[in-house]
Amino acid sequence: MSIDYRSWAKEPITTLEMAVIDRNTEYLGIPRRILMENAGRAVASVVMERRPNARNVLVVAGLGDNGGDGLVAARYLHSWGRDVRVILLGRRADAREELVVANLNALLNVGVEVIEAPTPYDLLANQDLFHPWAEVIVDAIIGTGIRGVLREPQATAIELINKSAAYRVAVDVPSGLDPDTGEVRDAAVRAHVTVTMHRPKVGLVRESAVKYVGELIIADIGIPEEAEHVVGPGDALYLNYSRRPESKKGDNGRVLFIGGSREFTGAIYLAARAALRMGVDLSIVMAPRDVARDIRSHDPDIIAIPLDGDYLSQAHVDRVLEQVGRSHVVAIGPGLGLREETMRAVVELVSRALDMGKRVVIDADAIKALGELKRQDLVRDNVIVTPHAGEFKWLTNVDVSELKLKDRVSRVVETVKSMLRGGVVLLKGNVDIITDGRRYKLNLTGNPGMTVGGTGDVLTGVTAALAVKVKDLFEAAALASFITGLAGDLAVKDLGFHITPTDVIERLPAVMRRLFDVDSIVKSSIHEVSYRFLSSED
């Protein structure tokens, strides 16, 4: 096994984090087939190093990616002169993963025997391969994909592996072990060595897991550090796009937007419209009288509640808080202006909303209000702030506008860590920087066409919508940056540099279709009789 030179890849991660990294690695241009190839070779190398004199190697493989890693390992061990047999827990015809099918065919082409075992009886008919024939058994059955109780033939395969006297090598995770908790619900392979990919999984380092994991080896399979810090399609895994069939109005998001003034009427509307287009149930605006009236006349989809006067003031606070209490997320700032009474109202509303346990997105003039009144302490847990470089300086007195990207990242992360109290900052720019002072991600979507006024307000709306459904606000902000920028890229691709903020908003559904299998998810939620009728019309 080669030396792992990656000092940055030692800390354990969850299986969800690993799935995000895998998908974002592909987004950066590194194909999954390369990762699988590297994983399989790493496993084969460990077999050769730990048991150099062993001749007979049995690979027990499932039909998923973990099985694919095992099939690659089998090919390398065959090419290195070992007598390799593969027991496939299923039929070759049932394999659906493209890479699994490709690696199965490669094994058959070089003459490796593949035994199909879709039932426990097929395994028992070949139990002599587990013992006494095998000197080494490679467990490539389930890996990180375990869900609930073990099914057959996986349960019987694990039992036969554990009864064997062979040296046992687990691929990524001993099959049957929960990779996030280290718990074993039914049974798990008791490996002598576990070769886990990229980083250790959280469950593998738990004390309760040691007797199943054995020696833990971390394999470098070619995932670069950048894949852990770029926002990409993988981050969509943090969002549950589906809805419960019994959902009622408000269950999928009630977002309150506070903003607007006599001079600036459109910003708060764009934010509210973007959130509605992202799928929240209720997008509510509280704004000065004329702003609310304009929104009402223009768009009946938005609930616009008027406030007396031309500007937000402290006289409005109690009335606004009534709606805050009914909302999942509060977004404040677009178009407010910088009158003294408005800034004081912002500080009071943010403070009291946080005391009520609400999630708050702070943008535009509300950011300036916090900076002007020295209330940076309000950027704490449950807060996302979305400044550009100028607003970031207003908030922190730190100028990052002229710094190169690497220096800008380190300066922003350090500033957030030292000055703020746990909130998330989404710093807008050519490359967006998202950080909570501990973690950071970079977003590479977006384009110069998005300098048109109002696209920042669209981002505020998307961020607020995702803050409803994404548990980790750091990930909500990162995904919002990615989705908004991608919608902007699609708009420019379609229209050139002639876009408006509404062009970006209207492309949000198309972006979601790139990230999710929307048709299948929607199909599962529509009553069958209705879906059948609609399909017949097609």
- The closest of 35, 464, 123, 158 to 284, measured between CA atoms, is 464
pLDDT for 101? 97
Residue 180 · residue 18 · CB < 8 Å: no
Record the tokens describing residue 130, joined without a space. 């587990």
- In sign, the C-alpha dihedral spanning 302, 303, 306, 312 is negative
Record the tokens describing residue 57, joined without a space. 């190697």
pLDDT digits (tens, 9 = 90+) for 147-177: 778 999 999 999 999 999 999 999 999 999 9
- In sign, the C-alpha dihedral spanning 51, 52, 58, 59 is positive
Phi, psi of 301 (to 5 degrees): -70, -25
pLDDT for 149? 82
pLDDT for 16? 96
What is the DSSP track for 337-353? ---HHHHHHHHHHHHHH
Residue 6 · residue 225 · CB < 8 Å: yes
Neighbours of 382 (CB within 10 A): 18
| Bridge partners for 287 per DSSP | 306
- pLDDT tens-place values along the chain, 538 residues long: 567 788 888 899 999 999 999 999 999 999 999 999 999 999 999 999 999 999 999 999 999 999 999 999 999 999 999 999 999 999 999 999 999 999 999 999 999 999 999 999 999 999 999 999 999 999 999 988 777 789 999 999 999 999 999 999 999 999 999 999 999 998 999 999 999 999 999 999 999 999 999 999 999 999 999 999 999 999 999 999 999 888 999 999 999 999 999 999 999 999 999 999 999 999 999 999 999 999 999 999 999 999 999 999 999 999 999 999 999 999 999 999 999 999 999 999 999 999 999 999 999 999 999 999 999 999 999 999 999 999 999 999 999 999 999 999 999 999 999 999 899 999 999 999 999 999 999 999 999 999 999 999 999 999 999 999 999 999 999 999 999 999 999 999 999 999 999 999 999 999 999 999 999 999 989 999 998 898 886 5
Q: Please state, in angstroms and rounded to a whole number, the distance separating the CA atoms of residues 82 and 78.
A: 5
pLDDT for 536? 84
What is the DSSP track for 180-213? TT--BSS-----SEEEEESS-BGGGGSGGGHHHH
Percent composition of the chain: helix, strand, coil (DSSP 3-state, to 5): 50, 15, 35
Residue 459 · residue 428 · CB < 8 Å: yes
Q: Please state, in angstroms and rounded to a whole number, the distance separating the CA atoms of residues 449 and 442.
A: 19
pLDDT for 4? 79
Residue 20 · residue 34 · CB < 8 Å: no
pLDDT for 5? 83
pLDDT for 476? 98
3-state secondary structure 47-71: HHHHCCCCCEEEEEECCCHHHHHHH
Residue 218 · residue 196 · CB < 8 Å: yes
- The closest of 315, 372, 322, 367 to 345, measured between CA atoms, is 315
Record the tokens describing residue 431, joined without a space. 């490359």
Q: Please state, in angstroms and rounded to a whole number, the distance separating the CA atoms of residues 433 and 30.
A: 23
Burial 484-523 (b: 16+ CB within 10 A, else e): bbbbbbbbbeeeeeebbbbbbbbbbeebbeebbeeeeeee
Residue 39 · residue 64 · CB < 8 Å: no
pLDDT digits (tens, 9 = 90+) for 370-407: 999 999 999 999 999 999 999 999 999 999 999 999 99
How is domain 246-524 classified at the architecture level of CATH? 3-Layer(aba) Sandwich (3.40)
Residue 120 · residue 90 · CB < 8 Å: no
DSSP character for 92? G
CATH number of 15-228: 3.40.50.10260
**Domains in the chain: boundaries:** 15-228, 246-524
pLDDT for 106? 97
**508-515 vs 473-495: helix axis angle to the nearest 10?**
120
Residue 429 · residue 472 · CB < 8 Å: no
pLDDT for 455? 97
Tokens 């669209």 found at: 458
